[in-house]
Amino acid sequence: MEQHRLGLHIPDILNQCVMKIEDVSDYSDLMTIDCELLQITPPGFTFAVHLRDITEGFTKIINAEDLELGIAGDPLPDGVYVIRYSVSPNDKVYVEYNYLRTSVFLDKYHAVLCDLELASCEPEREMKEKFKELRDIKMMLDAAKAKVEVCHYITEGMDLYNYALKLLNKFECKNC
C-alpha cells in the first residue's frame, strides 16, 4: 500500500454531553504521518473547529467546550455534524463524513418506551398500536440517518428527523 486510507468510526452513544470519534485508518508504512487534523462543524455552523491534539490511532471524546458550544457537561445538540480528518498534505489526504447525531432523540424515545405500562407479556390492542407507532418512528429515524450519512441528502434527512421527533413528542411521557 502506497498511501494512507483514512477512516473514522463515530458510534452512536446515548450520552448527550459527549461524542466519540475513533481513528480506524489504514496507514501506509511507506509514508510519514504528519499534521493530523480533526475538523468538526456542528449543526447550524459554517466554520469548523480544528482539533490538532490527536495522533495516529486516536480515540477522542468531544464535548461542548471542545466545539466552542459551551462548557464541558453541556449537552451537544442533535443534527448534522461535518467531520473531516486529514494528514499531510491535508488538502489531498483526508476523509469527510456527514454524521447525524441522534442522542437527544434516542433518550426521549427510550424514556417513552420505559413509560409504557405493560400489564402482561402479550400487550393489548391499544398497546400494540403504540408499539407500531414507535417502530414507525424509529424506522423514520433510521431512514434520516441513511439519507444524511449514506446518501448525503442533508435536507431530506433533517426533514425526516424533524418529522419523527414531532411524532415522538405526541406521546405523553411522565418521565421525560
Q: What is the CATH number of the domain that holds 45?
A: 2.60.40
174 lies in a domain? no
* pLDDT reading at 124 higher than 80: no
Sign, CA torsion 11/76/45/159: positive
Asked whether residue 32 falls in the same domain as residue 95, the answer is: yes
Model confidence over 47-102: pLDDT tens digits? 999 998 899 999 999 999 999 999 999 999 999 999 999 999 889 999 999 999 99
Asked whether residue 29 falls in the same domain as residue 82, the answer is: yes
3 lies in a domain? no
Asked whether residue 26 falls in the same domain as residue 61, the answer is: yes
Asked whether residue 63 falls in the same domain as residue 41, the answer is: yes
Asked whether residue 93 falls in the same domain as residue 117, the answer is: no
Of 101, 127, 146, the last residue of a domain is 101
The type of residue at 158 is M
pTM of the model: 0.92
30 lies in a domain? yes
Asked whether residue 125 falls in the same domain as residue 156, the answer is: yes
Q: What is the pLDDT of residue 176?
A: 65
- Which residue, chain included where needed, has cell 459527549? 18
Residue 69: which of 84, 48, 96 has the closest Cα?
A: 48
111 lies in a domain? yes
Cell of 172: 405523553
Number of domain units in the chain? 2
Angle between helices 154-169 and 125-149 (to 10 degrees): 160
1 lies in a domain? no
Q: What is the pLDDT of residue 72?
A: 92
pLDDT band of residue 164 (cuts 50, 70, 90) is very high
Three-state SS at 8? strand
Give the domain extent around 116.
103-169
Asked whether residue 97 falls in the same domain as residue 113, the answer is: no
CA angle, residues 17, 26, 20, in degrees to nearest 5? 5
Asked whether residue 164 falls in the same domain as residue 92, the answer is: no
Asked whether residue 90 falls in the same domain as residue 113, the answer is: no
Asked whether residue 108 falls in the same domain as residue 71, the answer is: no
The residue-averaged pLDDT of 144-153 equals 98
